[in-house]
Amino acid sequence: MEAQRNSRSFLHRCARSGDAVHASVVITLLVGVWCAQALEVSVGKVHFVEVMNGSSVLLPCTYSSCIGIKNLYFNWQYNDNGTMVKICEAVIPTELVEPNVKIYHERVEFVGSSKESNISILLWNVTFEDEGEYTCFARNPKEKDRNHSAIFTLIVVDQLREVDNTLTIIIVSVIGGVIGLVIIIMVIKAVVVHILNKAQEKKPEG
């Protein structure tokens, strides 16, 4: 009887140990997935911009990390017919420390700030040769040097396309007309009520 009881106790401990192992494995996998997706690089909701030849344009890029950064490396590259040409690069030591950015393009200016997790650049005096895809790249050593990037497309034109505001004008006109009509009706109602009240006051008592 005692042997049977000891056997059950041993099996129970093994089962509990197995649960602990399974839980440990699950937690390890979840932490691994979380860390793998810790850094995010974004160029915003709109991944392209259309600008006039000769103007200046902001190429936006921001980063975020739920585990923090240390010696975050980033660069901007231009896709020149399949060849990636580096425009600028830098390393951000830690949060709130501004990077020493190396610029490899005469018309490029770094306008980002590590205080805002911003690594955007400004391209001056845009030409048709500047049209194409620009890649914002980042790598965080705290993530075992996983690579992250986002692409922003620049479209250069002679003149910006005119936006057809006909529908907007019609809608605004209709709404304005309805509001005006409601105001007129309210004014007429107020005048009629006033006249009726005056007539009621002048009516002789029977």
Query: pLDDT for 27-54, tens place per residue?
Result: 443 444 444 457 999 999 999 999 999 9
Quick check: 8 pLDDT over 90?
no
> Quick one: what percent of the chain has pLDDT higher than 90?
55
Report the DSSP pairing between strands 48-52 and 146-157: parallel
| Kind plus residue range of the DSSP H or E element containing 202 | helix 166-202
| Kind plus residue range of the DSSP H or E element containing 132 | strand 132-140
Q: Give mean pLDDT, residues 112-126.
A: 97
Q: Categorize the per-residue pLDDT at 168 as very low, low, confident or very high, splitting at 50, 70 and 90.
A: low
Quick check: 188 pLDDT over 70?
yes
Tokens of residue 204, six digits: 């002789």
Whole-model pTM?
0.62
Compute the half-sphere exposure of residue 88: CA atoms within 13 Å on the CB side of its CA.
23
Task: Tell me the C-alpha distance between 18 and 16, whole Å.
Answer: 5
Q: Categorize the per-residue pLDDT at 195 as very low, low, confident or very high, splitting at 50, 70 and 90.
A: confident
Task: Tell me the C-alpha distance between 163 and 165, whole Å.
Answer: 6
Quick check: 68 pLDDT over 60?
yes
Q: Is the dihedral of CA 94, 97, 102, 103 positive or negative?
A: positive
Count other C-beta atoms under 10 Å from residue 104's C-beta.
13
